[in-house]
Amino acid sequence: MVELRGCDPPKNLDEYRDVFVYVQHKNGKIERGSLEMLGMGRELADKLDEKLVGIMVGSDLSKVAEEAANYNCDTVIGIESPDLKTFSSVPFSHFISETVEDYKPNIFLLSGTREGRDLVSRIAIRCNTGVAADCIELDADKQNRLLIAWRPSFGDKTIDQILCRKHRPQMITSRPGSYKLPEKNRRKEVKIDIRKVKVPDKMKTVRVVEFRPKETLDLTTAKTVVSGGFGLGKPEGFKYVEDLAKELDGVVGASRPVVDLGWIPYDHQVGQTGRTVRPHLYVAAGISGKIQHLVGMKDSEFIVSINTDPDAEIVKYSDFYIHGNLYDALPKLTEEIRKRKSGSKNKV
Amino acid sequence: MALKIVVLIKQVPDAEEIFIDPVKFTLNRSQARGIINPADENAIEAALKIKDETGAEITVLTMGPPAAETALIECMGRGVDKGILITDRVFAAADTWATSLTLAAAFNIMDDFDIIFAGESTTDSGTGHVGPGVAEFLGIDQVTYSVNTKVEGKNVIVERSLEDGIEVVNVPMPVLITTLIGSNMPRRSTLRMKIDALKKGITVMDHEKLKLPPEWVGIKGSPTVVGSLKIPDEKKREGKKYEVEEIPKLVDDLIEKGAIKIGDA
Ligand SMILES: Cc1cc2nc3c(=O)[nH]c(=O)nc-3n(C[C@H](O)[C@H](O)[C@H](O)COP(=O)(O)OP(=O)(O)OC[C@H]3O[C@@H](n4cnc5c(N)ncnc54)[C@H](O)[C@@H]3O)c2cc1C
Ligand SMILES: Nc1ncnc2c1ncn2[C@@H]1O[C@H](COP(=O)(O)O)[C@@H](O)[C@H]1O
C-alpha cells in the first residue's frame, strides 16, 4: 500500500531562512546553469537579507566545493560518499531532502538540467513543498519573504507568475542560459562544510554500466548559430549550412523534422523539444518558423532568414530576410563573407 | 508470468491551436483539439515494444476530464490492454504535487506492476515532475530521459540521453522510466482494435474510489499557485527583404549593424 498524505504546510514560515542552490558538477567542473543560479541566488539573498548556501553531492568534493565557494557563497555544504560518485535519483534526493529538512532554507534554486529536473520533484514531495519549473525570471518580495518566479507556458505564448505562499522552501528550476554568469568573488567568512555520509544498501540499486560520451556541441553558448530546416530537401544540403557556419565561426542548428528524418543528430535541434538558444546571430535557412521552433531562438540578437516563401512566419521574426532558394543564397552569402574577410586582411 | 506495465499519459491541447484572447488576456484552450502528449506517445510505444518482445500486460492511466477517454481508446487501439480514467471535479487545477499524489493513489487499487512509463514532460505545463513525483510516492527507483529500455530477467537496462552522452544503467524492477520525446516511432492504432476497445470500455475512478480527501487534491492540495500572467514583449523586427542578387548589400548591412564582425574591428 502506498502511504498517502496531503501537502501540509509548516506552522512557522519564519523559521525558514537563506537561499540554497544545488551545485551540479562533473569531473571537477561546475555546470554552467548552476553558476547562473549561484549568481541569481546571491541577488535574492541580498534582497532578503539572507545567506547563500551552495549544496553539492559527490564522492570527492574538496576541490569543487572550493570552486563553488568562489561564487559569493556564505556556506558550501557537501554531501560525500564513495557511493555517490555517479548520479542516482534515490540517494541524491534522500540526502538533499534530509539537509533541507534540517537546515530549513527559505528558497531552493536548481538549474533545470536533466539531473536537476530528475531530482527536484522527489525533493519537493519529501519536503512537502511546491516547485515552479523552467523559470526564466526571478525576483523577491522582501516584505513577505516571497520568491516571485516567472515561467513560460504554452510554447512561450504567455509567461506565468508562480508563487508558493504557504510552503517552504520555495523551489524552482531555471531554464539554463536565461541568466547572467556571475563574476568570481570569494567572501572572507565563507564556510565549507563537507559531510561524510553512509549510503544504505537499499539505495544502491541503480548501477551505471556504461557511459558513451557524445561530442558536446554547445548550442546554448554559441555566438552564431546557422540552422537548416526541411527546406533543404535532402541531407546533403547541410554541407552549405556547415560552410556558412564555419565561415562565421558558428555552430550548426536544425529544426525538428530534419532531426526526425535522421539528417542530423538530435543535439543540433533548436526549439521547444530541443535547445533554447540566444546567440548574437541566428540564421534560419529553409525553416518556416512554427511556434515550436520560434520559442527556441526568437530571443537571438539578430535573425536572418532564407526562404522561398515571403509569407513564411519566420520572416516576421527576422531582422533580415533573403527571398530566394537557399541553394543559391547560402553559397553566395558564404562567398561574400569570405571575400570581405580576405579584403580586410589585405588592407592591414 | 507476464510483465505488468503501466503507462501514464495525458491529453493536452494541440499547441498550434491555442490562442490568447486579446481582450481578456486569457488563454483560449477550449477550442484546441486534444492530442496525446507527444512524449507520452513514446512512452506507450516503449511499453508496446516490450510487449512485442517478452509479452506484457499494459494499462494506460490518465487523470483528466471525461473527454480524455478518447486518448485511452486510441492507446488500446494500438495494443494496450486496459484504460483507466481518473476524473473528478475536485482534481481540477492540480499542480504537479497534487497530480503525482492522485496518480499514485490509483496504484493502491491496481494490481502490482513491474514498470511504469511516463513521458519526459508535457507540452502544456512542461515540468517533467509528474513521473518522478509518482516514483517518490511509490518509493521506487526512477530512470529519466530514456531512449531505449530492455528487460533482462528481473532488471531493466535503460539508455538515458544526457546533455553530454548516453548513460546506460541497470536497475531492478519495479521502476519508473520516463521517455525522451522522439525516442521511437509510435505505431498507429487499427480501427478494428479501437472498436474492440470501445466494446471493452475503460475503468473510471473518482476521489472517493481513490480514498483521497478533496482538500489533498486539485487546486486545494497544490502548494503552488499561478499569480498573474503576462504576454512576453516581442522584439520588433523589420524583416528587411533582400533578393539573392542583393546579398553583397545585405552583408554590408549586417556589418554596419554589428550582426557580423569582419577582422578584429
Ligand atoms: C510537441 C511538439 C514539439 C515540437 N518541437 C519542435 C522543436 O523543438 N523544434 C522544431 O524545429 N520543431 C518542433 N516541432 C515541429 C514544428 O511544429 C514544425 O513542424 C517544424 O518546426 C517545421 O520545421 P521546418 O520549418 O524545418 O519545416 P517546414 O515547416 O516544412 O518549413 C520548410 C520551409 O522551407 C521553405 N523552403 C522550401 N524549399 C526551400 C528552398 N529551396 N530554399 C529556401 N526555402 C525553402 C519553405 O517555404 C518552408 O517555409 C514540434 C512539434 C510538436 C507538435
Ligand atoms: N494528468 C496526468 N495523467 C496521467 N499522467 C500524467 C498527467 N500529467 C502528467 N502525466 C505524466 O507525467 C509526465 C510528465 O508530465 P509533466 O510533469 O506535466 O511535464 C507526462 O509525460 C505523463 O506521462
Backbone angles phi, psi at A156, to 5 degrees: 65, 20
Q: Which three cell numbers stand for residue B29?
A: 484552450
Helix (H) or strand (E) holding A141: strand A137-141
B positions 186-245 inside 8 Å of A (CB): 211-213, 215-216, 221-232, 234-235, 237-244
**Minimal CA separation from A49 to chain B, in Å:** 24
Q: Is B185 on the interface with A (CB under 8 A)?
A: no
Give the whole-angstrom CA distance, residue B238 versus residue A320.
Answer: 7
The pLDDT value given to residue B79: 97
Question: Considering every ligand atom, which ligand is closest to the CA of B44?
Answer: 2
Give the whole-angstrom CA distance, residue B77 versus residue B58.
Answer: 12
- CA-nearest residue for atom 9, ligand 2, is B130
Q: A95 burial class (0-12, 13-18, 19+ CB within 10 angstroms)?
A: buried
Q: Which three cell numbers stand for residue B124?
A: 502544456
Residue B31 has pLDDT above 90, yes or no: no
> Model confidence over A273-286: pLDDT tens digits?
788 888 999 999 99
**Minimal CA separation from A5 to chain B, in Å:** 7
Q: Is A216 on the interface with B (CB under 8 A)?
A: yes
Local structure of residue A180 (DSSP, 8 states) = P
Domains of chain A, earliest start first:
13-203 (3.40.50.620), 219-347 (3.40.50.1220)
| Mean pLDDT of the region B246-263 | 93
- Is A154 in Cβ contact with B124 (below 8 Å)? yes
pLDDT band at B151 (very low <50, low <70, confident <90, very high): very high
Alpha-carbon dihedral sign for residues A42, A77, A135, A87:
positive
Local structure of residue B234 (DSSP, 8 states) = P
Q: Which three cell numbers stand for residue A174?
A: 531555471
Give the whole-angstrom CA distance, residue A92 versus residue A10.
Answer: 23
- Is B18 in Cβ contact with A211 (below 8 Å)? no
**Minimal CA separation from A207 to chain B, in Å:** 5
Secondary structure E strands in chain B: 3-8, 11-13, 19-20, 27-28, 34-36, 56-63, 82-86, 115-119, 141-152, 155-162, 165-172, 175-179, 203-205, 225-230, 240-243
pLDDT band at B127 (very low <50, low <70, confident <90, very high): confident
Residue B25 has pLDDT above 80, yes or no: no
Give the whole-angstrom CA distance, residue A329 versus residue A308.
Answer: 10
* Cβ-nearest to A321 among B157, B213, B242: B242
pLDDT band at B26 (very low <50, low <70, confident <90, very high): low
Helix (H) or strand (E) holding A76: strand A75-80
How far, in Å, from the CA of A327 to the mean position of ligand 2? 42
Residue B235 has pLDDT above 80, yes or no: no
Q: DSSP secondary structure string, B45-78?
A: HHHHHHHHHH-EEEEEEEES-GGGHHHHHHHHTT
Residue B251 has pLDDT above 70, yes or no: yes
Query: HSE-up of A171 (CA within 13 Å, CB side)?
Result: 32
> Model confidence over B49-107: pLDDT tens digits?
999 999 999 999 999 999 999 999 999 999 999 999 999 999 998 999 999 999 999 99
pLDDT band at B265 (very low <50, low <70, confident <90, very high): very low
Find all residues with CB under 8 Å of A47, minimum gap 6, and list them. Answer: A140, A142
The pLDDT value given to residue B17: 56
Is residue A105 within 8 Å of A15, Cβ to Cβ? no
> Model confidence over B220-231: pLDDT tens digits?
999 998 888 887
Instruction: Kindly report the pTM of this predicted structure.
Output: 0.85
Its ipTM equals 0.85
* Cβ-nearest to A114 among B105, B145, B265: B145
Give the whole-angstrom CA distance, residue A322 versus residue B247.
Answer: 8
Closest CA to B44 of B71, B13, B26: B71
Q: Which three cell numbers stand for residue A290?
A: 512554427
How far, in Å, from the CA of A287 to the mean position of ligand 1? 5
**Minimal CA separation from B172 to chain A, in Å:** 7
Residue B20 has pLDDT above 80, yes or no: no
Domains of chain B, earliest start first:
4-216 (3.40.50.620)
Q: With pLDDT > 70 as the criterion, what percentage of chain B qualifies?
A: 92
Top mutation candidate among A256, A268, A282 for ligand 1, by most atoms within 8 Å of CB: A256
* Ligand 2 surroundings by CB, under 6 angstroms: B 8-10, 37, 39-40, 43, 61-64, 96, 99, 103, 118-119, 121-122, 125-131
- CA-nearest residue for atom 37, ligand 1, is A231
Q: Classify B229 as helix, strand or coil.
A: strand
Give the whole-angstrom CA distance, residue B85 versus residue A316.
Answer: 42
pLDDT per 10-residue tile (average), chain A, 348 residues: 91 96 96 96 97 98 97 98 96 98 98 95 96 93 95 76 96 87 94 98 96 80 93 97 96 94 90 85 97 88 97 96 98 96 70
Give the whole-angstrom CA distance, residue B251 versus residue B262.
Answer: 10
- CA-nearest residue for atom 29, ligand 1, is A288
Least confident of A192-196, A213-217, B131-135, B187-191: A213-217
Closest approach atom of ligand 2 to CA B127: 19
The pLDDT value given to residue B32: 64
